[in-house]
Amino acid sequence: MRGKIFLKKFFGFIIFEIFFMSFTMPVFIFYGPFTNIRDTLVTTAMTTFTHQYIVTTFLSKSTIEKIMKINRIDAGQSNMESINFKNNHNNSIDVYNVSGKHFDGKVILIHDPTRVEVGLSDKFPKEGETTSIIAKNKGAIAAINAGGFGDRSMKGIGGAPQGFVIHKGNLLYSEIQDNNKKVDLIGITKDGKLIVGNFIYKNIFKMGIKEAVSFGPPLVVNGKGMIKTGNGGWGIAPRTAIGQKSDGTIIFLVIDGRSLKSIGATLKDVQDIMLKYGAYNAANLDGGSSSTMYYEGKVINNPSDALGERYVPTIFFAK
C-alpha cells in the first residue's frame, strides 16, 4: 500500500514539474537575465518559415523587431582594386577541424584560387543532386554546397537556383528580370579574386566574373567583419561559407548542426572563423540540411539531412 502511495506521489510530482517547467521556462528564456539565449532563440525561429510561433507567442512584434535590428549585418561589397595577390599556383589543399562552444566543423584551404569552379547538377535546373554526386561527376578533390534554391514541390529535389548562376564566364541561369536590381553576389573572377556583396545586376557582367552564385550575406568585406553587434540575425544552424585570404587562398567552411554533438553556428561564429583564418572577403552560403563538405571521394562532415545528403543545384569545387 505504501509503495502505491509513494508511486502516486512520485508521478504526481513529475507531472507537476512538467507543467511547472512548461509555464516557467518560456518566461525565464524570454524575460530572464540571459539576453543572449533569448536573442539566439528569436533569431533562429524568425529565420525559419515553420517555427516563428515559438517567439511570436511570447514576444510582441516591436520587441522581435528590436532584437532582429540589434542582431544585424552591415551592408558591404568587395573592392576589386584592393585585392592584390600573386598567384603562385600552389597545388596543395589542406583540411582542418574547427570547433566552438556549441559546434564542430571542417575547413579546407585551396591555395590556387583559379582551381575553384561552380559545379551544377546534371539535372540542372529542374532538379538537384547531392554535393558528393556533383563533385564526383566533376572530378573534384574538394567541394561544398553553394547557392540556395526554390523547391516548390516540397519533395526535396533541390529545384531551380535562387538568383543566377555563372560558370566559365557564361550566364547559365537567371531569375532576375530587372537589370538595375541589386542582387547578392558570390563570384570568382578569371584571375581568382573572390568578390562578395550586393551589386547592381547589370554591372556584374562588367567585372570579369568567371564563376558565381547569388547568395549571402557577406560576412567579411575588404578585411572587416560585417557583424558589429549581436549574432548576425540568423540564429544557430548548420552553416556553409566561402572566403579568400589576402594571398588568394580560397577557404571552404562547413559547420555541422542539429545534433547533440554540434548544435550549429551563428553567422557571427562563421565570421569569426573566417577572420581567424585570415579571410579578406567571405560570404555565407546555403546552410541547414544542405551543408555538406566533400574531400577525396567522400563526405567528411555530418550533414543534418535525414536522408544523409540533401539535393542541391550548385556546388563550389576544386579539381
Domain ranges, ordered by start, for the chain: 2-70, 80-318
pLDDT band at 92; cut points 50, 70, 90: very high
pLDDT above 70 for 164: yes
pLDDT above 70 for 224: yes
pLDDT band at 214; cut points 50, 70, 90: very high
Q: Percent of the chain having pLDDT more than 90? A: 65
Lowest mean pLDDT among 36-40, 173-177, 194-198, 242-246: 36-40
- Does pTM top 0.75 for this prediction? yes
Distance between CA 278 and CA 105 in Å, rounded? 17
Decide: helix, strand or coil at residue 25: helix
The C-alpha cell at 291 is 551543408
pLDDT above 90 for 12: no
Q: Which residue has the cell 590556387?
A: 112
**Predicted local confidence at residue 200, as pLDDT:** 97
> Across the chain, where does the E strand assignment appear?
93-99, 104-110, 116-120, 129-130, 142-145, 164-167, 170-174, 182-189, 194-200, 209-213, 218-221, 224-225, 239-245, 250-255, 279-285, 293-295, 298-299, 311-312, 314-318
Say if strands 170-174 and 218-221 run parallel, antiparallel, or are unpaired: unpaired
Q: Are 236 and 44 in contact (CB under 8 A)?
A: yes
Nearest to 158 by CA among 183, 132, 134, 124: 124
Cβ-based burial of 97 (10 A; exposed 0-12, middle 13-18, buried ≥19): exposed
Higher pLDDT, 77 or 50: 77
Give mean pLDDT, residues 30-53: 68
pLDDT digits (tens, 9 = 90+) for 295-311: 999 999 999 988 889 99
pLDDT above 50 for 18: no
Q: Percent of the chain having pLDDT more than 70? A: 84
Mean model confidence pLDDT for the chain = 87
The C-alpha cell at 147 is 547557392
pLDDT above 70 for 241: yes
pLDDT above 70 for 10: no
pLDDT above 70 for 5: no
pLDDT above 80 for 42: no
pLDDT band at 48; cut points 50, 70, 90: low
C-alpha angle 213-214-216 in degrees, rounded to nearest 5? 115
Higher pLDDT, 201 or 41: 201
Lowest mean pLDDT among 34-48, 105-119, 131-145: 34-48
pLDDT above 80 for 40: no
Q: Are 231 and 264 in contact (CB under 8 A)?
A: no
pLDDT above 80 for 155: no
Higher pLDDT, 76 or 151: 76
Nearest to 219 by CA among 247, 189, 244, 249: 244
Where does residue 288 fall: left (phi above 0), alpha (psi -120 to 50 degrees), or beta otherwise? left
